Amino acid sequence: MVATAASAPIAIVTGASAGIGLYTALGLARAGMRVVLTGRNRERTEAARRRVAAVASGPAPSVALADFASLADVRTLAAALLAEYPRIDVLVNNAGLIAPRRENSADGYELTIAVNHLAPFLLTLLLLDRLKQSAPSRVVTVASQAHKGALVDPAAMTNPPEWSPLSAYGRSKLCNILFTRALARRLGGSAVTATCLHPGAVATQIGNRAGILASLGWRLAKPFLTRPEQGAATSLFLATVPDPAPFAGAYVIGTAIAQTDPAARDDRLAGVLWTESTRLVGL
């Protein structure tokens, strides 16, 4: 039976115009979900929507635009989603970047931490009541093995004393994992499951902007990396697994819970990060 618009679960996928996000949206649409693709470029996101519509076994997908380098845009996106969708069953926090040079977001924060951590942090919290009302529901956040060896000082994360494309990216991915742990603790007993994952070393465009030497290495390695459709597999697994409860608060590789660096298991640090992130996004 094909799901109707009224009965189909609603899944929001950020950064869905290309790469892992696009293939996550394709997989969820094939599974019968009503998929909302978010992106910052209208033309690319609409092209992605058409690809998803061609394979959807349920309701037609839709588009919602936002630039995650602006917290005002994130707030506008959340308001639009809450106005349009009476329920939200799955939120996939997939959008992310590696900045080739140090620059700031529209809010004056270091760009990588703003886009990769503060934007999904704000979006998730703005949608959280709707996710709770829709429970059982889930929040899936794309982290990375790049967190290994990373350090974060929440008080200095928006203006770090040292910066490189890869150190900034690793710091943001550490924040994704700490956020997931803290969120899962706060969601205990709510039937909303928060998980995060490493998608693998995936041949997307993200590494093309990692600085001269790193991006050169990325381009040379891309033919040997995991394809984006394979990189979406863990996001799809966590978004659709019948019982997500065993993965609450966990970091997943493939279909199994994996070990993180000790810093990513520091619940005191996760609490400090949560408090500072709340302040920075104005909640």
pLDDT digits (tens, 9 = 90+) for 137-152: 999 999 999 999 999 9
The answer, yes or no, to whether residue 206 has pLDDT greater than 90, is: no
Phi, psi angles (nearest 5°) of residue 11: -120, 130
The answer to whether 26 and 47 have CB atoms below 8 angstroms apart is: no
The beta strand positions in the chain, using DSSP E, are 10-13, 34-39, 62-65, 90-93, 137-142, 192-198, 251-253, 256-257
Active site residue 251: no
Q: What is the pLDDT of residue 1?
A: 39
The answer, yes or no, to whether residue 2 has pLDDT greater than 90, is: no
| Check whether domain 10-281 has CATH 3.10.20.600, yes or no | no
What's this model's pTM, rounded to 2 decimal places?
Answer: 0.90
Pick the catalytic residue from 23, 109, 169, 251: 169
The answer, yes or no, to whether residue 210 has pLDDT greater than 70, is: no
Average pLDDT, the chain: 91
